[in-house]
Amino acid sequence: MARSSGHVSYVAATVPMAIFMTVLCLLLATDMTHAWRRPATYYLGGKDGWDPVIPMDSWTRGKTFYAGDILVFKYDGQESNLWVVNRTGYETCTPNDGAKEYDSGNDRIRLPYGMSYYIGVFYQPDCSAGLKMAVKALAPK
Protein backbone atom coordinates (compact mmCIF):
# COMPACT_ATOMS: atom_id res chain seq x y z
CA MET A 1 0.00 0.00 0.00
CA ALA A 2 1.35 3.44 -0.94
CA ARG A 3 2.00 5.93 1.71
CA SER A 4 0.61 9.48 1.27
CA SER A 5 3.09 12.30 1.43
CA GLY A 6 2.36 15.49 3.37
CA HIS A 7 4.48 17.33 0.79
CA VAL A 8 1.70 17.38 -1.84
CA SER A 9 -0.82 19.04 0.48
CA TYR A 10 1.81 21.60 1.56
CA VAL A 11 2.49 22.58 -2.07
CA ALA A 12 -1.22 22.71 -2.84
CA ALA A 13 -1.74 25.09 0.09
CA THR A 14 1.22 27.39 -0.65
CA VAL A 15 0.57 28.00 -4.37
CA PRO A 16 -2.73 29.87 -3.79
CA MET A 17 -1.08 31.79 -0.93
CA ALA A 18 1.83 32.79 -3.20
CA ILE A 19 -0.60 33.99 -5.88
CA PHE A 20 -2.58 35.91 -3.27
CA MET A 21 0.56 37.58 -1.90
CA THR A 22 1.75 38.51 -5.41
CA VAL A 23 -1.60 40.10 -6.28
CA LEU A 24 -1.69 41.90 -2.94
CA CYS A 25 1.81 43.32 -3.50
CA LEU A 26 0.86 44.52 -6.98
CA LEU A 27 -2.28 46.22 -5.67
CA LEU A 28 -0.37 47.91 -2.87
CA ALA A 29 2.34 49.07 -5.26
CA THR A 30 -0.30 50.56 -7.59
CA ASP A 31 -2.07 52.30 -4.71
CA MET A 32 1.22 53.61 -3.38
CA THR A 33 2.11 55.01 -6.80
CA HIS A 34 -1.20 56.82 -7.10
CA ALA A 35 -1.05 57.99 -3.51
CA TRP A 36 2.38 59.50 -4.18
CA ARG A 37 0.94 62.23 -6.39
CA ARG A 38 -2.68 62.96 -7.08
CA PRO A 39 -3.53 64.93 -10.23
CA ALA A 40 -3.39 68.67 -9.59
CA THR A 41 -6.03 71.14 -10.71
CA TYR A 42 -4.82 74.47 -12.03
CA TYR A 43 -7.10 77.48 -12.46
CA LEU A 44 -5.59 79.38 -15.34
CA GLY A 45 -4.66 82.89 -14.37
CA GLY A 46 -5.48 82.17 -10.72
CA LYS A 47 -8.30 84.23 -9.25
CA ASP A 48 -8.34 86.53 -12.30
CA GLY A 49 -9.20 83.68 -14.67
CA TRP A 50 -8.38 83.31 -18.36
CA ASP A 51 -7.88 86.97 -19.24
CA PRO A 52 -5.77 88.91 -21.76
CA VAL A 53 -4.36 91.00 -18.90
CA ILE A 54 -2.23 87.99 -17.82
CA PRO A 55 0.19 86.58 -20.43
CA MET A 56 -0.50 82.86 -20.04
CA ASP A 57 2.95 81.74 -21.17
CA SER A 58 4.41 83.58 -18.19
CA TRP A 59 1.76 82.02 -15.92
CA THR A 60 3.01 78.53 -16.84
CA ARG A 61 6.67 79.33 -16.03
CA GLY A 62 7.94 77.52 -12.98
CA LYS A 63 5.09 75.02 -13.01
CA THR A 64 5.54 71.34 -13.85
CA PHE A 65 2.51 69.62 -15.33
CA TYR A 66 1.93 65.87 -15.20
CA ALA A 67 -0.38 63.55 -17.10
CA GLY A 68 -3.78 63.59 -15.43
CA ASP A 69 -3.47 67.19 -14.22
CA ILE A 70 -6.51 69.34 -15.00
CA LEU A 71 -6.45 72.84 -16.42
CA VAL A 72 -9.57 74.89 -15.63
CA PHE A 73 -10.38 77.88 -17.80
CA LYS A 74 -12.92 80.39 -16.48
CA TYR A 75 -14.04 83.18 -18.78
CA ASP A 76 -17.18 84.76 -20.21
CA GLY A 77 -18.45 82.09 -22.61
CA GLN A 78 -20.75 84.63 -24.29
CA GLU A 79 -17.82 86.77 -25.37
CA SER A 80 -14.95 84.37 -25.84
CA ASN A 81 -13.80 80.79 -26.33
CA LEU A 82 -10.58 78.83 -26.42
CA TRP A 83 -9.03 76.30 -28.75
CA VAL A 84 -6.58 73.43 -28.47
CA VAL A 85 -4.46 73.65 -31.60
CA ASN A 86 -1.23 72.33 -33.08
CA ARG A 87 2.07 74.19 -32.91
CA THR A 88 1.48 76.07 -36.17
CA GLY A 89 -1.95 77.22 -34.97
CA TYR A 90 -0.36 78.37 -31.74
CA GLU A 91 2.39 80.34 -33.48
CA THR A 92 0.08 81.97 -36.05
CA CYS A 93 -2.95 82.53 -33.77
CA THR A 94 -5.10 80.62 -36.23
CA PRO A 95 -7.13 77.47 -35.46
CA ASN A 96 -5.87 74.59 -37.60
CA ASP A 97 -7.89 71.75 -39.14
CA GLY A 98 -8.79 69.35 -36.34
CA ALA A 99 -8.48 72.00 -33.61
CA LYS A 100 -10.89 71.55 -30.72
CA GLU A 101 -13.00 74.48 -29.57
CA TYR A 102 -14.20 75.02 -26.00
CA ASP A 103 -16.79 77.67 -25.24
CA SER A 104 -18.59 76.93 -21.97
CA GLY A 105 -16.75 79.57 -19.93
CA ASN A 106 -15.84 76.88 -17.39
CA ASP A 107 -13.77 74.39 -19.38
CA ARG A 108 -11.70 71.57 -17.89
CA ILE A 109 -8.91 69.95 -19.90
CA ARG A 110 -7.19 66.84 -18.52
CA LEU A 111 -3.62 66.63 -19.79
CA PRO A 112 -2.53 63.37 -21.43
CA TYR A 113 1.01 62.08 -21.08
CA GLY A 114 3.64 63.35 -23.47
CA MET A 115 1.51 65.52 -25.72
CA SER A 116 2.25 69.17 -26.16
CA TYR A 117 -0.94 71.12 -25.72
CA TYR A 118 -1.25 74.48 -27.39
CA ILE A 119 -4.20 76.42 -26.06
CA GLY A 120 -5.33 79.87 -27.01
CA VAL A 121 -8.03 82.34 -27.86
CA PHE A 122 -7.99 83.10 -31.53
CA TYR A 123 -9.44 86.55 -31.49
CA GLN A 124 -6.31 88.11 -33.03
CA PRO A 125 -5.72 91.01 -30.61
CA ASP A 126 -6.07 88.75 -27.53
CA CYS A 127 -3.93 85.95 -28.97
CA SER A 128 -1.21 88.36 -30.05
CA ALA A 129 -1.31 89.92 -26.57
CA GLY A 130 -0.41 86.54 -25.08
CA LEU A 131 -3.71 84.82 -24.34
CA LYS A 132 -2.25 81.47 -25.35
CA MET A 133 -0.07 78.85 -23.74
CA ALA A 134 1.98 75.75 -24.48
CA VAL A 135 1.91 72.86 -21.99
CA LYS A 136 3.57 69.46 -22.01
CA ALA A 137 2.59 66.86 -19.42
CA LEU A 138 5.30 64.65 -17.96
CA ALA A 139 4.74 61.09 -16.79
CA PRO A 140 2.98 61.01 -13.42
CA LYS A 141 5.27 60.59 -10.45
Higher pLDDT, residue 130 or 89: 89
User: For the chain, what percent of residues have pLDDT higher than 70?
Assistant: 66
Convert the pLDDT of each residue in 97-113 to its tens digit: 999 999 998 999 999 88
The torsion defined by the Cα of 23, 26, 28 and 33, in degrees rounded to 10, comes to: -160
Q: How confident is the model at residue 66 (pLDDT cuts 50, 70, 90)?
A: very high
| Number of other residues whose CB lies within 10 A of the CB of residue 51 | 17
Residue 35 scores a pLDDT above 50: no
Q: Strand pairing partners for 72?
A: 43, 108
The torsion defined by the Cα of 74, 134, 125 and 45, in degrees rounded to 10, comes to: 30
By CB neighbour count within 10 A (0-12 exposed, 13-18 middle, 19+ buried), where does 122 fall?
Answer: buried
pTM > 0.85: yes or no: no
Residue 44 scores a pLDDT above 70: yes
The reported pLDDT for the residue numbered 32 is 43
